[in-house]
Amino acid sequence: MSIHISAQKGDIARTVLMPGDPLRARFIAENFLQQVKLVSQTRNAFYFTGTYKGKEITIGASGMGCPSIGIYSYELFTEYEVDNIIRIGTCGAYTNKLKLFDLINVDYAASESTFARYAWGIKDQCIRHQGKAFKTIKKAAKELSIPLKNCNIHSSDIFYRKNSDIPKVAAANKCLAVEMEAFALFANAKHLGKTAATLLTVSDIIPTHEKISADEREKALKPMMELALEAAMKM
């Protein structure tokens, strides 16, 4: 047990897939894993452990934003001997060069967040994916013929803002899309010498206001879930 996760020590696998939403964690676990067991439900942040093609994998929620994923990923890495975390989420595209449903393997996450600086003294505005997960995902995508782009993204602390211009930190670091968690995940992994990657599906195009509809979402996220699971199997 840790403060925010009530699982027993041995109940969490070495590789964890992390959607933001607990109900998405449940959906993936119930539809893609065998021998599924609910191992933590503190604050309704569900964590499920099961097997995928025989390999033990845990799927659990990060919540929204750097503070939340900062807590869950830290406890997983330090209290449960987790080696690899793959965040699976959605993002908004800053440019119509990206299309709805595009799948992104995040290279660098740039942020105005003070998380990395105040937690670990990491002063960079831009932190890279950590360890081999990025490459494993890239290779798995090739094998599965799933189209996958890689680019830098903005991990924003802000969802609603008065000014809709692309924020400075995103422009300066050539970020093509925005989400809210990868930066803190990468910072924790970097500090602890662990592995972390982030896979994102483009769910909205910010300049044109196009969006994946609520009923399209489940189907839209399927390639990302399959890719994450196949990559997790190889870790």
CB 198 within 8 A of CB 185: yes
Residue count at the site for ligand HPA (CB under 6 A)?
11
> DSSP string covering 81-97, please?
---EEEEEEEEEESSTT
Report the alpha-carbon distance of residue 147 to residue 129 in Å, rounded: 19
37-76 binders of ligand HPA (CB under 6 A): none
Q: Choose the catalytic residue: 21, 107, 157, 204.
A: 204
73-92 binders of ligand HPA (CB under 6 A): 90-92
* 21 noted as active-site residue: no
- Segment interacting with ligand HPA, rule: CB under 6 A, options 50-58, 165-173, 186-194, 198-206: 198-206
Amino acid in the structure at residue 67: P
> Sign of dihedral through CA atoms 78, 79, 81, 82?
negative
User: Any contact of residue 204 with ligand HPA (CB under 6 A)?
Assistant: yes
User: Any contact of residue 179 with ligand HPA (CB under 6 A)?
Assistant: yes
Q: What is the dihedral of CA 220, 225, 226, 229, to 10 degrees?
A: 180
Of 136 and 203, the one with the shorter C-beta distance to ligand HPA is 203
Which of 15, 62, 201, 203 touches ligand HPA (CB under 6 A)? 203
Size of the chain in residues:
235
According to DSSP, the β-strands at 34-40 and 103-110 are unpaired
205-224 binders of ligand HPA (CB under 6 A): 206
Q: Write out the catalytic residue numbers.
A: 204
Contacts to ligand HPA by CB under 6 A: 90-92, 156, 159, 178-180, 203-204, 206
